[in-house]
Amino acid sequence: MLSIAFAVTALNRTLFRLVKWLVVLFALLMLYEVAARYSFASPTSWAPELATLLFGPFFLLGGPYLLHTGGHVSVDLLSARASGLAAKALKVIAIILAIVFGVILLWFAFPLAEQSFQYRETSYTSWNPPVWPAKLVLPVSALLLVLQGFAELLFVLHEEVTSQ
């Protein structure tokens, strides 16, 4: 079971390392847009929309790995003061809440993404790019979050077993 947890974490780490480079693309897109708008008085209709469509996958696919690294914003009022079994219990509760959040997100996102895919949904703007690929990322990332949550539970439980 622990090998599956390591595999899930490795997958999420790889996805995180790939999508983090989208920030460079955002910056280049916005630089191009600003230069086109203010230097040449010729704003684009596609650059801001493309940046928005890419930001969703960037944000969503980075989340599961951040669960592993503890990179999410958290309120540590209780966990900073807890130690031993209480600290482990708070960690387990936090992981369970992340799993519940991921399951709820998956439950509601999957039908929306499926419908968007079936209709080949577009943005209905002048550029009119397909938005269904970006919408498909939501249930995929929710599933990855759930899987990473279970991996984190295994890590915590394994840590407890090995420390005894």
Look at residue 75 and tell me whether its pLDDT is greater than 80. Answer: no
Nearest to 50 by CA among 25, 31, 24: 25
- Higher pLDDT pick, 55 / 103: 103
Q: For the residues of 26-88, what is the DSSP string, one character each?
A: HHHHHHHHHIIIIISS---SSHHHHHHHHHHHHHHHHHHHHHHHT-S----TTTTT--THHHH
- Higher pLDDT pick, 73 / 109: 109
pLDDT in tens, 105-145: 999 999 999 999 999 999 988 899 999 999 999 999 999 99
Q: Write down the pLDDT at residue 54.
A: 86
Q: Write down the pLDDT at residue 59.
A: 85
Distance CA 85, CA 64 (A): 25
B/e letters for 84-95, b = 16+ CB within 10 Å, e = fewer, are: eeeebebbeebb
Look at residue 162 and tell me whether its pLDDT is greater than 60. Answer: no
Query: What mean pLDDT is reported for the chain?
Result: 89
Nearest to 134 by CA among 148, 150, 117, 149: 117
